[in-house]
Amino acid sequence: MNPQQYPDIAVIGVPMDLGADRRGVDMGPSAIRCAGLERRLAQLGYRVHDEGDLSVRRQPTAASADKLKYVDEIAKVNAELCRSVEASQQAGRFPLVLGGDHSIAIGTLAGMRRRHPALGVIWFDSHGDVNTADTSPSGNIHGMSLAVALGFGDPRLTAVGGAASALRPEHVAIVGARSLDAGERDFLRRQGILVFTMHEIDRLGMASVMEQAIDRVSRGTSGIHLSLDLDGLDPAAAPGVGTPVPGGLTCRESYLAMELLCESGRLVSAEFVEVNPILDHCNQTAQIAVSLIASLFGERIL
């Protein structure tokens, strides 16, 4: 990634907390902006077009009759996000989506597949997010978004984006996993999705893991989307997340991952999600998010 490849960046905020059923993460887009996102990208030579935030209708409680919490409003917001992401691409801008909880990946990926039917995805996360209504212990849709993008789950969610084709399992790589539900483990094995847990990262090193992940999701695809959940990092580095899991990635490992993705020249879109300022310390997690974004877009030490 460099300003010659994509000189214009469209920043789209999605203040969604319904997928996590926990307040605070809806303030994530504002926290990331306040941490200096636009200034940092402008210093790298990009033209930043902040398209503001999508509207999310607040709902006081989850509907008890439906196991999937807030599913109708989540589907509605993701359908709007799908249209916004597609419009950004049509305008020649790189879509950079700020969450919000990880359920927003449903709309981002649907919008990207309108222009990139064969899309590669690197899912940077401590969780697999491949639950369905049948396997989810909570009913929280932020833990189902990758399954939905692969074509599995409630029709109200898989229908987002209309005729856009589902992701292919061989075009997906998960990096940093360390908390998987039993149903997710079965799903990942059945689908043959490439998963690099912290065990592989510790043994092989981040450089080798990212090289393998990039190679895998580049085969037969027209570009790579990065979906980065800040809980992929260790809570000591990124405390402001709703579902922290100890034993995660260091800042330096994460910066290296972004740098290698940048150097690949294959990136076509990205989203950064699950920053929860209520749980953060002095906006530390949002600042880390901005630094990771800067590394993704070409910032280097020297």
Buried-exposed string 189-216: b where 16+ CB fall within 10 A, e elsewhere? eeeebbbbbbebbeeeebeebbebbbeb
Length of the chain: 302
66 annotated as ligand-binding? no
53 annotated as ligand-binding? no
Distances (CA, A) of 194 to 35, 179, 187: 33, 15, 12
116 annotated as ligand-binding? no
d(CA 81, CA 86): 8
Active site residue 229: yes
Q: Catalytic residue among 17, 86, 127, 253, which?
A: 127
Q: Catalytic residue among 231, 234, 271, 299, which?
A: 231
Q: Catalytic residue among 101, 116, 142, 225, which?
A: 142
154 annotated as ligand-binding? no
Nearest Cα to 214, choosing from 262, 169, 146, 251? 262
102 annotated as ligand-binding? yes
Q: Catalytic residue among 53, 102, 271, 299, which?
A: 102
Active site residue 49: no
Q: No. of H helices and E strands in the chain? A: 11, 8
Active site residue 199: no
Active site residue 281: no
d(CA 85, CA 64): 32
d(CA 223, CA 206): 21
Active site residue 142: yes
Q: Catalytic residue among 125, 154, 184, 299, which?
A: 125
Active site residue 129: yes
49 annotated as ligand-binding? no
Beta strands 47-53 and 194-197 are: unpaired
Strands of 93-157 (E only): list them.
Answer: 94-99, 120-124
Q: Catalytic residue among 17, 26, 129, 299, which?
A: 129
Q: Catalytic residue among 184, 274, 280, 299, which?
A: 274
Q: Residues with catalytic annotation?
A: 102, 125, 127, 129, 142, 229, 231, 274
Annotation: binding site for Mn(2+): 102, 125, 127, 129, 229, 231
